[in-house]
């Protein structure tokens, strides 16, 4: 029998399985089990998966919380758009607003201190990508996402929208300054 001619016996399921085929089937099955058990293992032991809290909110309520933080902790204005730079106390809640085509406000954080980032969108779905920390979250309107973040090195971090949100998407870059 070849692959071009049909088998003489049409009941193919009664044919014995060849050893090489059985070997490949066994390898695929074992690899599938390994990958299935690795997912919960890496979620528990790995640093790449964030366990976030998510709450329902409204854009108005979230913006009010962010504005209150900006009014209380602004230390300077930055850039051509005069974006406020906020320096909240270590361990506090930090509110970051996503809107066409802006991350608002900029932040100044202490190295080695933990912060709870509260993220929400005012309009469309945006992607929160914090580089070089490599934190990625989808930010949706009407939801408040809370992420724990501890910067481990000083410098300038970029907050990039990695979910296409319109013609000004490439301009949607926020700043986080980490100082000693």
Domain housing 40 = 14-45
- Measured from the Cβ of residue 179, the count of other Cβ atoms closer than 10 Å reads 11
Q: Are residues 27 and 83 in the same domain?
A: no
Distance CA 52, CA 22 (A): 43
For residue 88, give both structure tokens: 């909240």
Q: Which pLDDT tens digit goes with each residue over 77-123?
A: 988 889 999 999 999 999 999 998 899 999 999 999 999 999 999 99
CATH code assigned at 122: 2.60.40.420
Q: What is the pLDDT of residue 131?
A: 87
Query: Which phi-psi region, left, alpha or beta, contains residue 79 (left: φ > 0; alpha: ψ -120 to 50)?
Result: left
Whether pTM > 0.75 for this model: the answer is: no
Q: Are residues 23 and 80 in the same domain?
A: no
With a CB cutoff of 8 Å and minimum separation 6, the contacts of 168 are 100, 101
Q: Are residues 165 and 92 in the same domain?
A: yes
Q: Which pLDDT tens digit goes with each residue over 91-101?
A: 999 999 999 88
């Amino acid at each position: 029998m070849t692959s071009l001619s049909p088998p003489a016996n049409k009941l193919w399921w009664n044919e014995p399985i060849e050893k090489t085929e059985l070997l490949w089937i066994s390898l695929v099955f074992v690899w599938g089990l390994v990958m299935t058990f690795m997912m919960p293992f890496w979620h528990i032991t790995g640093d790449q998966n964030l366990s976030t809290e998510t709450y329902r909110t409204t854009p108005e309520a979230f913006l009010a919380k962010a504005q209150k933080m900006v009014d209380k902790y602004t230390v300077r204005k930055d850039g051509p758009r005069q974006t406020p730079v906020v320096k909240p106390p270590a361990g506090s809640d930090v509110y970051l607003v996503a809107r066409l085509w802006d991350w608002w406000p900029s932040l100044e954080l202490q190295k080695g201190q933990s912060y709870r980032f509260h993220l929400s969108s005012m309009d469309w779905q945006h992607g929160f990508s914090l580089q070089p920390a490599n934190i990625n979250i989808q930010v949706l309107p009407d939801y408040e996402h809370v992420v724990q973040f501890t910067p481990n090195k000083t410098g300038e971090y970029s907050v990039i929208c990695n979910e296409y949100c319109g013609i000004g998407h490439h301009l949607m870059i926020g700043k986080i300054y980490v100082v000693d």
